[in-house]
Chain A
């Protein structure tokens, strides 16, 4: 299904420039570094339990079914966001939407590559930086490496993924990225405390 929206990109390359939000912005503070990550391919994937196996196979990554978890393989990460919802991020330029287009089991795959902006927060004060506006417990026990969750940062919604004990990926909608980066920058000034 969903062929209409999933034409393989055989056509000509864009003749105009891609201008990602906040491209290349970085900030370093004591104990933490922020960096806006390069564009990635993304889909919002929705499917019932019965479709998970077939979709996992097509995507090459096993869709996690446990809350607040993620799975990653070969540059592609699937984040559990809800009981029938995953955010699939591909950082190596492969197109998950195309992979899903061949799958006939019940599902919805919608491309959101440009909807989201990703910011990496790394360093020993990374969790403290995020906890400046995120009410979740980000200790390694409560939010281990690989944990993923939609949550709040200040006044906006983010998706949070812990990529290492001292590294997070923060995803937010494009128009909120300025707010999120500014918020994290403010928080970073004080995170080593």
Chain B
């Protein structure tokens, strides 16, 4: 059955192919190819939503992306709820379920519409004025109430189950807009063989050819020509054609963001189909063919459902085969509305009257309208619309005053003229220029390699448009080195329109109670704009923010020019002097999903795992995040909590031995004849005399003299160092070293290579460590004489090449076994098997932290914070006293850095050995002082040490080394903790266990 307002035979849809859908729970039938808007209109439904502020009933204003009113929620399932979908853009599919927004309890009876009556309170700038007193009421009462009452759709409350894809693309010529101009430009460029991308936001190409029944190109109907031209472009290898794709942002150097809506129009999208696809296109040339948007007439109650743009009514008729009423009125200041009246009349729809604000317009459309018997009134205005949930009449008056006449209508078609869509041009940082004759802002000075063609360039008429666009496409191709050889489309017939008007028509009145809407989405009236000026707003940017004109999801596509004209008129200034607000991306709303793209779940951020990770996982290790790395934190046995596991691990390491995965440590191979010279410059320590085969603990400073990184460095050969860095510091240390090497010390013959991931590193620490390793090692003498503490040898372990370091971060005899990463797990397993014979354990990062703290070994970034010098950290011994240069040599002797009273790293022991301090806790000297207390330092590291049988802590304390034995206080919320300042070594102070 054909819907009541669908005209048999009209439009381009196959009316037999039906789809059922629902709106607010009512079921309707639509036709394949419909938008939600056209399908509802076919069923006579105009009431689609409530307005933002006044909750006024609203209908469809447009048939496209500029729609300010018809925002609905589309619900596929509980997780797939999309708010603020423009019904004029959403394509219908069988089973589509839509709901109206911003109304309660129902669309036709909305309690908050009282806001319409109370509207004097809600006029321009109401946010800033009405609700200011008492102050606390704003936060507790007004704001929550206003937020609840106003607003658009409701955000979904579940994770988005859809996926979104992304693509970088490059082309020679990017054509934005697929109307007649865009297609002509694309054809011209494509025929030369250059890479072309043609983009249009609609499902089908053609732009205004959707409704321009008078256009004929290459002896075809305009829309049919568009389809055949696009079909031809699609067959070309050098052309990519993207429909349902919005160019939402135009960025520097012809970088344009596109969102392609891949599956929102499908009933059952395949699981592999993304919902949307983000295209980030870099184009050598851009052709802007973004068209123009029709403006509404500003008169009292011009927002009643059934009042819409004339071109929208034409689109619904000529493309979708739907009439928007049975007895329509037309109110215009522009010829294009006549064409709508003519098309409707010819389709058998009653046209009550055309009301034209112009005094004596002439032209073929006017003659044709008269010839069809349509009543045409010149010099008259519609001063108000009747009806509430649907327009029921228009009241007409001569524009300079006089008798009123009310004409019953069920729809009003409006046209105040056309606004060139300069949004993307403006985003490209181009400067618009005001054409005083045509009252339009058109592209002026260009900032990028782009060109505007057709309606968006202020070019009128189809022939001129195609000439301009084709030439621009050919020139763009020529600019990138290709010559045109194609055939320009020939325009056989076209429609021509004159200009129209800007601002409030007489119907908008000076009467302050009248609501003549300028911006439908934000409920901004002509009165609001005038009021803003009267209250002192002079700049259009201020008027915009005071009234909210041009804000929200439609970004003022229909309202900007009217608002500007009314402000200019009220200010008594010409329009260009008032200026235009800035157009910003996005052109239409963009989903977060499309911006996020693949970067969610496992692809949100890389998760780095060591070669030994699978073993640790099997052992039930608990992992912690260290930067992007997953590191084994502790290895709980059955029944153990973290505390018990860490205590056991710490004790086992000192009693027998432990294995620790140190693979994440940064590693850099420094190679070249000047390697030692380079190391001298980058580290505080001396390196020239370090023997090959020996290691040294190195400290790296920034030029400001503060500690930047540290690590053990082994000299493998006179010209080769194996440098280790902190886990987190690896990339920046490499960058820091490269920076100095490339830009400050380029004379040095030395090169740096990151080998972090070449080597898996297994630390074996504890008195039994040598016994565990030795049976597996070949070619290395493991005796203390041949391999003393702080030495390195190359050889083999388990038949695999190794760099074997004798070093310790626990204070015990210790080794770090480096093996090629792919062998890491197998060598670990072999060492583990040996370790089991001795009762060794695997230990994680927490035990590592405790063990090193027991020895007073610092962790850069935990015990230092970027303001700590080597002296502050008690590491003066690691600074080469005879050196004449290294990075930081000057910075670290700046006056403030050598002054007395600096914070120094010391140990702290709580008076109650069972109390473990909190890391970051502040320290004071006198617990009785008045609040706010003078803080003299803070705790940097704090642990329970099972080996010491008490808690231990490191802290940065002002003048700390002069306070040994002093009692200080750590005030906490529940108690003040007494602590004693001590040295930093809590265990084996003499260091005998390194060879134990």
Asked whether, in the complex, the Cβ of B800 is within 8 Å of the Cβ of A4, the reply is no
Q: A111: nearest residue on chain B (CB-CB)? A: B758
State which of B414-422, B560-568, B713-721 sits at the interface with chain A. Answer: B713-721
B454 to chain A, nearest CB (A): 29
Residues of chain B within 8 A (CB-CB) of A137 are 170, 282
Residues of chain A within 8 A (CB-CB) of B629 are 175
**Residue in contact with A108 in the complex, picked from B169, B282, B753, CB distance below 8 Å:** B753
Asked whether, in the complex, the Cβ of B606 is within 8 Å of the Cβ of A176, the reply is yes
Q: A109: nearest residue on chain B (CB-CB)? A: B671
Asked whether, in the complex, the Cβ of B800 is within 8 Å of the Cβ of A14, the reply is yes
A106 to B719, CA, bound (A): 11
Residues of chain A within 8 A (CB-CB) of B168 are 131-136
| CB of B769 closer than 8 Å to a CB of A | no
Contact A7/B794 with A114-B822, A131-B167, A142-B170 known, Cβ cut-off 8 Å: yes
Contact A178/B751 with A14-B823, A20-B822, A108-B671 known, Cβ cut-off 8 Å: no
| CB of B234 closer than 8 Å to a CB of A | no
B719 to chain A, nearest CB (A): 6
Asked whether, in the complex, the Cβ of A132 is within 8 Å of the Cβ of B165, the reply is yes
A44 to B756, CA, bound (A): 13
Residues of chain A within 8 A (CB-CB) of B598 are 132-133, 154, 183, 186-187
Residues of chain B within 8 A (CB-CB) of A112 are 753, 755, 758
A119 to B825, CA, bound (A): 22
Asked whether, in the complex, the Cβ of B717 is within 8 Å of the Cβ of A3, the reply is yes
Asked whether, in the complex, the Cβ of A2 is within 8 Å of the Cβ of B610, the reply is no
Asked whether, in the complex, the Cβ of A16 is within 8 Å of the Cβ of B827, the reply is yes
A66 to chain B, nearest CB (A): 21
Asked whether, in the complex, the Cβ of B799 is within 8 Å of the Cβ of A190, the reply is no
Contact A18/B794 with A174-B821, A190-B277 known, Cβ cut-off 8 Å: no
> Contact flags (1/0) for B273-317 with A, using CB distance below 8 Å?
110010010100000000000000000000000000000000000
| CB of B826 closer than 8 Å to a CB of A | yes
Interface residues in B, total, Cβ within 8 A: 63
| CB of B609 closer than 8 Å to a CB of A | yes
| CB of B599 closer than 8 Å to a CB of A | yes
Asked whether, in the complex, the Cβ of A2 is within 8 Å of the Cβ of B757, the reply is no
Asked whether, in the complex, the Cβ of B749 is within 8 Å of the Cβ of A106, the reply is yes
A39 to B277, CA, bound (A): 35
**Residue in contact with A113 in the complex, picked from B758, B799, B826, B830, CB distance below 8 Å:** B758
A9 to B778, CA, bound (A): 13
| CB of A189 closer than 8 Å to a CB of B | yes
Asked whether, in the complex, the Cβ of B758 is within 8 Å of the Cβ of A114, the reply is yes
23 CB contacts below 8 A, A to B, read A2-B671, A2-B720, A5-B669, A11-B796, A12-B796, A14-B823, A16-B829, A16-B830, A84-B751, A106-B673, A109-B671, A112-B758, A131-B168, A131-B169, A133-B168, A133-B598, A173-B756, A173-B757, A178-B607, A178-B609, A183-B603, A187-B598, A190-B165
A3, A116, A132 — most chain B CB neighbours (10 Å): A132
> Contact flags (1/0) for B808-826 with A, using CB distance below 8 Å?
0000000000001111011
Residues of chain B within 8 A (CB-CB) of A11 are 778-779, 796, 799
Residues of chain A within 8 A (CB-CB) of B277 are 190, 193
A3 to B846, CA, bound (A): 39
Contact A115/B755 with A5-B720, A12-B799, A190-B274 known, Cβ cut-off 8 Å: yes
Residues of chain A within 8 A (CB-CB) of B749 are 48, 106
A136 to B754, CA, bound (A): 24
| CB of B166 closer than 8 Å to a CB of A | yes
Chain B 649-698 residues near chain A, CB threshold 8 A: 669, 671-673, 692
> Contact flags (1/0) for B159-183 with A, using CB distance below 8 Å?
0000101111110000000000000
A176 to B610, CA, bound (A): 10
Asked whether, in the complex, the Cβ of B606 is within 8 Å of the Cβ of A44, the reply is no
Chain B 722-759 residues near chain A, CB threshold 8 A: 749-751, 753-759
Asked whether, in the complex, the Cβ of B606 is within 8 Å of the Cβ of A155, the reply is yes
Asked whether, in the complex, the Cβ of A106 is within 8 Å of the Cβ of B672, the reply is yes
| CB of B157 closer than 8 Å to a CB of A | no
A84 to B606, CA, bound (A): 29
Residues of chain B within 8 A (CB-CB) of A167 are none
Known: A11-B778, A13-B799, A175-B610. 18 other contacts (CB 8 A): A1-B673, A1-B719, A14-B798, A16-B830, A19-B822, A20-B822, A46-B753, A48-B749, A110-B753, A113-B758, A132-B598, A136-B168, A154-B598, A156-B606, A176-B608, A182-B602, A187-B598, A189-B165
| CB of B195 closer than 8 Å to a CB of A | yes
| CB of B272 closer than 8 Å to a CB of A | yes
Asked whether, in the complex, the Cβ of A46 is within 8 Å of the Cβ of B757, the reply is no
A48 to B719, CA, bound (A): 16
| CB of B908 closer than 8 Å to a CB of A | no
Residues of chain A within 8 A (CB-CB) of B751 are 46, 84, 108
B615 to chain A, nearest CB (A): 10
A20, A44, A110, A116 — most chain B CB neighbours (10 Å): A110
Chain B 577-607 residues near chain A, CB threshold 8 A: 598-599, 602-603, 605-607
Residues of chain B within 8 A (CB-CB) of A187 are 165, 598
| CB of A54 closer than 8 Å to a CB of B | no
Asked whether, in the complex, the Cβ of B167 is within 8 Å of the Cβ of A132, the reply is yes
Asked whether, in the complex, the Cβ of A175 is within 8 Å of the Cβ of B830, the reply is no
Residues of chain B within 8 A (CB-CB) of A48 are 749
> Contact flags (1/0) for A159-181 with B, using CB distance below 8 Å?
00000000000000111101100
Chain B 450-472 residues near chain A, CB threshold 8 A: none
Asked whether, in the complex, the Cβ of B829 is within 8 Å of the Cβ of A182, the reply is no
